[in-house]
Amino acid sequence: MPKRSAGLLIYRVGDAGCEVLLVHPGGPYWARKDEGAWSIPKGLIEPGEDELEAARRETREELGVAIDGDFEYLGECKQPGGKVVVAWAVKADVDTTKISSNLFQMEWPPRSGTMAEFPEVDRAGWFALDEAERKLLNGQQPLLREFSRRAPIGMHAAKGDAEPPHP
């Protein structure tokens, strides 16, 4: 059975239109990667854990802030490595300059015998839907497309822009 992760697609709406919050993974492997490297805040579901509660817990661990609101189930998608990601959309405003992520350990440099700590998330950012499409991991694109499909047209672009991003 494939591993399952749960996450939140956090969004806000303002004069710039709709923006989604994405996180960049920490650690040396991801340090120089940008487009196609970002993710929604998410993580593994513990045995017996409610999926939405897992999404909220993982988001709290990665951002350092609890997210409350009306959670709308978006569905699930299978990432290229086989992991299944289940997600909910929720409207919230997070100050991305003040995130505080949990840490993980790995041997670094490789085969050095030295363990180093890195933040699970090294930064977070707000992105318009078209930019988020370029930043987000390919395996999570179906979640963004589903969110975009459900969003009212007025949420897609800045005031004065008429077209939503392509599905």
DSSP string, 99-110: ----EEEEESST
pLDDT in tens, 5-51: 999 999 999 887 899 999 999 999 898 898 999 999 999 999 999 99
Residue 78 has pLDDT above 80, yes or no: yes
- Domain 4-155: CATH architecture, name and number where available: Alpha-Beta Complex (3.90)
How is residue 131 written in tokens? 């930019």
SS3 93: coil
pLDDT of residue 153: 54
Q: Which amino acid is at 125?
A: G
Domain segments of the chain as ranges: 4-155
Q: pTM of the predicted model, to two decimals?
A: 0.89
